[in-house]
């Protein structure tokens, strides 16, 4: 379990910061002899780390990187398939020297980033109106 966290936390340091804050809160609560909340925070800390471990350990993520178009029809570069896992290759360097990483955190982030909150809360028409107003403002057209 420790080996997984040694690889996971340096890459996804926001999760590490949250764990450290929970540990510091636990220490603070124990110093104040507030055992009820100490147990609650301890359980949350353990559940958080077990969730991370279960989502990360033993899993492999594969992505396909499409190469940039070069204009040469005869020497068309092939797409590159990269696999990521905690124990083998957590960060992969491609042919151009760029470092890549992908796991369940990026998958969740892509789902969240693709979510249109305005249309989910106020409806599709409000979302379209807001997008049109933003586009008009960006192009300098009067609203």
Which range (30-34, 41-45, 113-117) has the least confidence? 113-117
What DSSP element (H or E) covers 131?
Answer: helix 124-139
Is the pLDDT assigned to residue 3 strictly greater than 80?
yes
pTM (two decimals): 0.69
19-44 mean pLDDT: 96
pLDDT of residue 47: 97
Listed by start position, the domains of the chain span: 2-56, 60-68+76-102, 115-143
pLDDT of residue 84: 85
What DSSP element (H or E) covers 99?
Answer: strand 99-100
pLDDT of residue 143: 60
Question: 34-72 burial string, b = 16+ CB within 10 Å, else e?
Answer: eeeebeebbeebeeebeebbeebeeeeeeeeeeeeeeee
What DSSP element (H or E) covers 100?
Answer: strand 99-100
In terms of average pLDDT, the best of 26-30, 84-88, 91-95 is 26-30
pLDDT of residue 86: 84
Backbone φ and ψ for 88, nearest 5 degrees, come out as -100, -70
């Amino acid at each position: 379990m420790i080996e997984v966290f040694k690889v996971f936390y340096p890459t996804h340091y926001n999760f590490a910061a949250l764990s450290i804050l929970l540990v510091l809160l636990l220490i603070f609560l124990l110093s104040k002899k507030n055992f009820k909340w100490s147990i609650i925070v301890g359980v949350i800390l353990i559940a958080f780390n077990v969730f991370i471990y279960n989502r990360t350990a033993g899993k492999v993520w594969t992505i396909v990187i499409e190469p940039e178009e070069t204009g040469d029809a005869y020497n068309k570069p092939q797409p590159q398939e990269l696999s990521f896992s905690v124990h083998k290759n957590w960060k992969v360097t491609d042919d151009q020297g760029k470092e890549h990483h992908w796991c369940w955190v990026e998958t969740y982030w892509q789902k969240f980033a693709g979510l249109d909150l305005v249309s989910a809360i106020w409806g599709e028409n409000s979302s379209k109106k807001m997008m049109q107003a933003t586009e008009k403002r960006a192009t300098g057209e009067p609203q």
